[in-house]
Structure 1
Amino acid sequence: MFVLLGPVAAHAGAGPRDTGSQPVDSYANAIRQSVWVDGDRDGKTDRVAADIIRPSEPAAAGRQVPVIMDASPYYSCCGRGNESQVKTYDQSGNPVGFPLYYDNYFVPRGYAVVLVDLAGTDRSDGCVDVGGASDITSAKAVIDWLNGRATAYTTRTGSTTAQAGWSNGSVGMIGKSWDGTVANGVAATGVEGLKTIVDISGISSWYDYYFAQGAALYDGGPDELASEVESSGAQSHCSAEEQALRDGAPRNGDWTSAWQDRDYYANASKVKASVFVAQGMQDLNVRTKNFGQWWNALAANGVQRKIWLSQTGHVDPFDYRRSDWVDTLHQWFDHYLMGVDNGVQSQPMADIERTPDHWSTDPVWPAPGTAATQVGLKASGTNGLGSLSAGAPPASGTERYTDNPAQDEDDWAAQADQATASKVSFTTGTLASDLRLSGGGTVTLTATPTTTSAHLSAVLVDLGPATIRNYEDGAEGITTLNTRSCWGDSTSGDSACYLDTAADTENVQQTVFSRGWADLGHYDPSLHGVSLTPGKPYTITIQLASTDHVVPAGHRLALIVAGTDNGLIVAPSTKPTISVDLSRSSADLPLVGGLPALAHALRGGSGHHHPTATTPAATPSRGPAAALPTSQAARLR
């Protein structure tokens, strides 16, 4: 079905190849229609709903247009964007309100915008399988239809077909969180016609959303997430699929074929689209390991790419750098979907937020000159306090701590210079020069537990005063204002005007900027866990999530090793004491300038602080995960 609102206006202005796309088409008169695409071309009733808005002027002139597509499970259950917008329809079921600004801004500039309900959600048939074949195929099928390779219908159950002759076959996918995840997954199929994706805080491996090397990050599994977003129709007939999700995602943290099916970065060699990544470096929802491993795999396969890294948590760039974001997105889509030679692909690859609202750029990312640099962990003579040094591990030394699941990384960081039983702090002296870390690192520990299960956490901390975005607040680093700004054209049923935002900042004395967690029983890279033998040493390499952070001169760098990170990983069944063999433990950190830069920063340092060994009361925690909604669907928006 489609609706043509109002008279057709004449198309005017220079072609997009000359100047870039201009807002010359009527938004009010745009064609709005819904189609249902056969999800897998097997003849069964598994149609995927796609709501389309496209300019009428090119249609009247017989010109084809490119497509910007957002495939989401959230268009009815939870909404999109900072204002939780849902799709709206008139009494006849024709689309009226399209969430987000993509339609308002890009349709007048000659693009079609297609919003797809993932299988099992809103007006689509099928079942939700949380990143599996159903999710990905339902979105891919729409791209196939836009390129003449699939069949669509004008209604959910009828036999009248809908044609996509208005599409030129060039598609760009965009989306935040689950939507961005689907874009990653579809790109990893290598589907023809997908020219670019914009991945905003998307997942690259669903295992790494639910587990960190065997340690559970959340209490629930993907079956619970499916039940939160699926339509009432899907809830009535998808119990078998939900059981398959439970069976394929055991809570013991083991790697299974279900996780393999949802591992997109493993298929980066198939990606033909360019990729624009936007990620909050303090995102404790879709944690930054996801973008880091995806980015590295894309780089290894020569994929054209660009990245923005903010100090926020799980936030869309539209809500922390709005004007620059819309302008860059416009250039990006113009280049990759319309062929405009605007130089966007020659701009700096990386934009990085250094302090709130202050950005720097790099020609490549990780930054030029970045090298994995070995850092030794040394004992100080006071248990729980050690030092970081350039080079290989020391010849001997042991540190011990006892897991305290009531504490978290904020507690540890606040007590970095205090000898407490629940963690070990390894710190530098005061840095003589800035020290920049760019990318992901690792911490290798040889750990001996006293119990049959144990969890490990490793966090990097910048010890020194700073003003940062308040990423642990519920809005994760932004404040929503009462004013609005408009980004495109509006109708009575679809406004282009959105609440403005500003940075929500706080002054801190220390900043945790990279994290890694693991279950010691999953020490083997195969991720098949075992019960630990008390008293036996195990060697495990913990992956530190990707970041880009400058520890300024005058500050200190700390690596803190501990047990359960309260609110960010689920506690084990026991509370072990862990002995760490420092002669067989070290960190490899992504230092810009490598070992010489580290040596330069450490020169003349004041050495480790050695306060009196005490066991103070725990510092009240701000509780990073406590700010996250308990609903998985609400978290993953």
Structure 2
Amino acid sequence: MGHPHKALHTTAVGVVSATLIAGTTLGLAPAAQASTTAGVRFVDIAGDGGTILKANVITPAGAAGTRGFPLIVLPTSWGLPQVEYLTQAQKLANSGYVVVSYNVRGFWQSGGEIEVAGPPDVADASKVIDWALANTPADAQKVGMAGMSYGAGISLLAAAHDKRIKAVAALSGWADLIDSIYSGRTQHAQAAALLDGAGTLTGRPSAELQQVFKDFFSSNLSKEPDLIAWGKKRSPQTYIDQINANGAAIMLANGWGDTIFPPNQYVKFYEELTGPKRLEYRPGDHATAEVTGLFGLPNDVWTDTGRWFDHYLRGEDNGIDREQPVQLKSRSTGGYEGYPDWKSVAATRKKIALAGSTTIRANVDSGANGGVIFLSSILDQIARLPPMASIPLLPRRWAAVWQSEKYASAQQVRGTAKLHTTVTATKESGTLVAYLYDVGPLGLGKLVSNAPYTFHGQTPGKPFGVDLELFSTAYDVPAGHRLALVVDTVDPLYIEHNPSGAQLTFSSPEHDPSYVSVPLRKQ
């Protein structure tokens, strides 16, 4: 059942290595450029409990003897060194900000152990703000935080616990840690192995974190409540009331194909925010949409981040508060679309009936899968080449397949497709993975979305209902194409829980028909 821990590390080791090499390059390339610029200081800051955090400070040129500059604090991403943001920090300083970037505890030269955005990390953020207000010409009334990935999550958590933070830009972050790496009660194996491997190579995982990963990979169901509690403590979603009470202006940006923090978990969080807010989605995987900005190249995410702070920290009337707050970039057209809120993204829904009764055998990968972490979504981002499968050739012994009619006009899929079906299993546990494909005239399917679903404790032979949200997306299905829903039981992205010899039967009872509901933009 599932994949052993060792095999997962083998699967991800190439990705981990590539990420770290890229991360080091990202850090060092801007450092060479920025270190010659006046105003850059490398400092040690005492974090929570006195733990030393390695940091750098950039102040605006000519700031000596003056005060009142807005402050931006940038916690580093998972596994990246403290020079990660130097190029963007220099740009912000040139615009009149004091910028403090620090290496989060447990990584590189900072002290302590990796706490995964636990209470010490949140306390560290406040200590860095304290230090900046005491040691730079920063204005205590104009404090912002931003970061990519790990830095994004810490920034959101800090905004719940520190009322001084007035604006946040959380880029490729998480709102719900459990819904990110354990959605559908299914371990996102490659994502977790990447985090585990990168943390071990660049930092010092705490004993608690090592145990969390051990329990996660071993599929120890008795530890599931502990895992969920651990994740909820580290999820901004848990503290939504405090974030709203504190009132910081929150900008969220993510990639449609983010394999670490899938887009859905940001949506619920965004909808529950009551203060000034903005939600941006673009093609790409985890942090790939904003990564070019670390090299100083033109980058929409960082441009909007600057505009967000200019308005909410400096009071500039740049119009960002009057734009449609939900901004989506389609994977198919590359153009931006603005919406007043998330529910307006999908104006209508079209159901594809999943008729009849279909039985598949478990434990074999049918050939339909979500791709490879990072690689697949980057190919989609750059070349519009998502993972593909020949739908007619998928072996029906291991894959259930349903198709829509040919569409006479293009279908603009926007938002979250939802699967509703009835499953009868021969074993009490199991995993299924649903895929939505855009199928061309020759039967070649391009992946539109997917999501895993795991069940435990079901009575063999007794039907039960399954409701599954696929990962949100923006994708245009051309005229003359079909949509296909494919379900199988094995995907390299996820740990599966299918006992040997298991079979799954999908049915569509008259009183409760099965379907996939596809969200469509108004034509």
TM range (shorter): 0.7 to 0.9
Show the counterpart of 1:405: 364
Contact 2:174 2:265 in 1 (8 A): no
Structure 1 residue 341 displacement after superposition:
0.9
Matched, 1:572 2:498: yes
Cα distance in 1, alignment partners of residues 350 and 331 from structure 2:
28
Deviates more, 1:111-120 or 1:51-60: 51-60
Match of 2:471 among 524, 529, 545: 545
Matched, 1:535 2:458: no
Structure 1 residue 559 displacement after superposition:
1.8
Task: Say which SS state the counterpart of residue 69 (structure 1) adopts.
Answer: strand
**CA distances 1:547-597 after superposition (whole Å, capped 9, x unpaired):** 12222322212222222223344453435211112123333333335xxx8
Cα distance in 2, alignment partners of residues 190 and 48 from structure 1:
20
Match of 1:362 among 315, 318, 338: 338
AA aligned to 2:481 is H
Matched, 1:519 2:487: no
Task: Say which SS state the counterpart of residue 293 (structure 1) adopts.
Answer: helix
Show the counterpart of 2:374: none
RMSD of Structure 2 on Structure 1 (CA): 3.4
Show the counterpart of 1:58: 63
Structure 1 residue 433 displacement after superposition:
2.4
Structure 1 residue 59 displacement after superposition:
3.1
Cα distance in 2, alignment partners of residues 257 and 509 from structure 1:
42
AA aligned to 2:448 is F
Task: Say which SS state the counterpart of residue 516 (structure 1) adopts.
Answer: strand
Matched, 1:46 2:51: yes
Contact 1:451 1:574 in 2 (8 A): no
Matched, 1:205 2:176: yes
Matched, 1:37 2:46: yes
When residues 191 and 250 of structure 1 are mapped into structure 2, their CA distance, relative to the original with a 3 A threshold, is farther
Show the counterpart of 2:5: none
**CA distances 1:347-401 after superposition (whole Å, capped 9, x unpaired):** 233443335773132133436363574725343xxxxxxxxxxxxxxxxx31211
Task: Say which SS state the counterpart of residue 70 (structure 2) adopts.
Answer: strand
Show the counterpart of 1:269: 241
Count of matched residue pairs: 457
Structure 1 residue 51 displacement after superposition:
2.4
Q: Within 5 Å, give how 1:238-277 maps onto structure 2.
A: 238-239=206-207, 242-243=210-211, 246=214, 251-252=219-220, 254-255=224-225, 256-271=228-243, 272-277=247-252
Matched, 1:588 2:517: yes
Matched, 1:309 2:281: yes
Cα distance in 2, alignment partners of residues 578 and 463 from structure 1:
25
Deviates more, 1:324-333 or 1:196-205: 324-333
Cα distance in 1, alignment partners of residues 444 and 142 from structure 2:
49
Cα distance in 2, alignment partners of residues 370 and 293 from structure 1:
17
Contact 1:442 1:544 in 2 (8 A): yes
AA aligned to 1:211 is Y
Match of 1:330 among 306, 318, 338: 306
Cα distance in 1, alignment partners of residues 434 and 508 from structure 2:
14
When residues 52 and 276 of structure 1 are mapped into structure 2, their CA distance, relative to the original with a 3 A threshold, is same
Match of 1:107 among 87, 93, 103: 93
Task: Say which SS state the counterpart of residue 105 (structure 2) adopts.
Answer: coil
When residues 324 and 132 of structure 1 are mapped into structure 2, their CA distance, relative to the original with a 3 A threshold, is closer
Show the counterpart of 2:260: 285
Show the counterpart of 1:121: 107
Length-normalised TM-score, structure 2: 0.77
Show the counterpart of 1:181: 153
Cα distance in 2, alignment partners of residues 131 and 246 from structure 1:
19
Matched, 1:448 2:424: yes
Cα distance in 2, alignment partners of residues 375 and 431 from structure 1:
13
Task: Say which SS state the counterpart of residue 183 (structure 1) adopts.
Answer: helix
Structure 1 residue 228 displacement after superposition:
1.5
AA aligned to 1:51 is N
Task: Say which SS state the counterpart of residue 267 (structure 1) adopts.
Answer: helix
**CA distances 1:470-496 after superposition (whole Å, capped 9, x unpaired):** xxxxxxxxxxxxxxxxxxxxxxxxxxx
Contact 2:369 2:435 in 1 (8 A): no
Cα distance in 2, alignment partners of residues 325 and 241 from structure 1:
31
Sequence identity (%):
22
Contact 2:145 2:167 in 1 (8 A): yes
Show the counterpart of 1:218: 189
Cα distance in 2, alignment partners of residues 515 and 545 from structure 1:
6
AA aligned to 2:112 is G
Task: Say which SS state the counterpart of residue 511 (structure 1) adopts.
Answer: strand
Structure 1 residue 313 displacement after superposition:
2.0
Cα distance in 1, alignment partners of residues 209 and 397 from structure 2:
45
Cα distance in 1, alignment partners of residues 268 and 75 from structure 2:
25
When residues 47 and 542 of structure 1 are mapped into structure 2, their CA distance, relative to the original with a 3 A threshold, is same
Task: Say which SS state the counterpart of residue 239 (structure 2) adopts.
Answer: helix
When residues 29 and 414 of structure 1 are mapped into structure 2, their CA distance, relative to the original with a 3 A threshold, is closer
Query: Which structure: greater helix fraction?
Result: 2
When residues 318 and 124 of structure 1 are mapped into structure 2, their CA distance, relative to the original with a 3 A threshold, is closer
When residues 404 and 570 of structure 1 are mapped into structure 2, their CA distance, relative to the original with a 3 A threshold, is closer
Structure 1 residue 421 displacement after superposition:
1.5
Show the counterpart of 1:82: none
AA aligned to 1:435 is Q
**CA distances 1:228-276 after superposition (whole Å, capped 9, x unpaired):** 1664xx56xx436644665699734634321221232232232222222
Show the counterpart of 2:389: 414
Show the counterpart of 2:119: 133
Query: Which structure: greater strand fraction?
Result: 1
Q: Which runs of 5+ in 1 are unaligned?
A: 1-25, 80-85, 88-96, 148-161, 380-396, 467-507, 522-529, 598-637
Cα distance in 2, alignment partners of residues 278 and 164 from structure 1:
29
Contact 2:187 2:216 in 1 (8 A): no
Cα distance in 1, alignment partners of residues 38 and 141 from structure 2:
23
Task: Say which SS state the counterpart of residue 391 (structure 2) adopts.
Answer: coil
Deviates more, 1:250-259 or 1:333-342: 250-259
When residues 409 and 199 of structure 1 are mapped into structure 2, their CA distance, relative to the original with a 3 A threshold, is farther
